[in-house]
Structure 1
Amino acid sequence: MACVNVIAADSDAEAHRLFTSLQQLFLGIVSGNHKPLQPPLDDMNEVWSNSEKLSAQQMLTYSFVGSPKTLQSSLSSFLQEAGVNEIMATSPIFAHDARLNSYRLFAETIQAINRSVKGSKI
């Protein structure tokens, strides 16, 4: 089993915007300035330094962000490489309705992956 971060939205751009909330959370870990989950930002480069960005990105390696099409590609590759047959996802998204939509899109993506790989069921 693998546990990953999944931030899904109807478009890649919206998913990446929603992802900034999780990035801010990890910025707080890196900087020692912990805060509750914050609203998304238009540009993370305004709030973190290059070293903070690199540290946070390393911790967020297993984060899958994007539209259903993007997620299907990246998650399929991950599942094959990792050899897992079970996946647990977390979607730390600030707005509740966007979080519910992310889980719905993630579930649909996993169903599409299962349909495309005979005998596979995640």
Structure 2
Amino acid sequence: MNIDQVRNYCLSKPHTTEHFPFDENTLVFKVAGKMFALTPLDKWDKGEASINLKANPEYSIKLRAIYKSIEPGFHMNKKHWNSIYLYKGELDANLIMELIDHSYAMVVNGLSKKARISLGL
């Protein structure tokens, strides 16, 4: 997947917004004001594409054991975030989209019932 495909897929999720809260380089995707994905844009230009995604801790352990391209989240809480190194070519687009879906779902499921209802989720 390229950056446009990742961006479009993230933005296709209901109520997703994009931001640059840290700097002009780190693109962050949020649902209801909470991050579910972030990616350093300069790495895409250098052929070192990566994306950080939230994940269930038990699922993270399994993913990290199976895929060399999935590591504890760089500059993130290592228990709840993974860095997905897309440039290594190990992961296909379907798996990347599943990981984005999982991250999005983790954030949505962590919202209060009232917030989920108000968003229609």
- Please state which band the TM-score falls in when normalised by the shorter chain: 0.3 to 0.5
Instruction: Return the TM-score normalized by structure 1.
Output: 0.34
Bigger relative contact order (CA 8 A; separation at least 6)? 1
TM-score when normalising by structure 2 = 0.34
Greater strand share, 1 or 2? 2
Larger Rg: 1
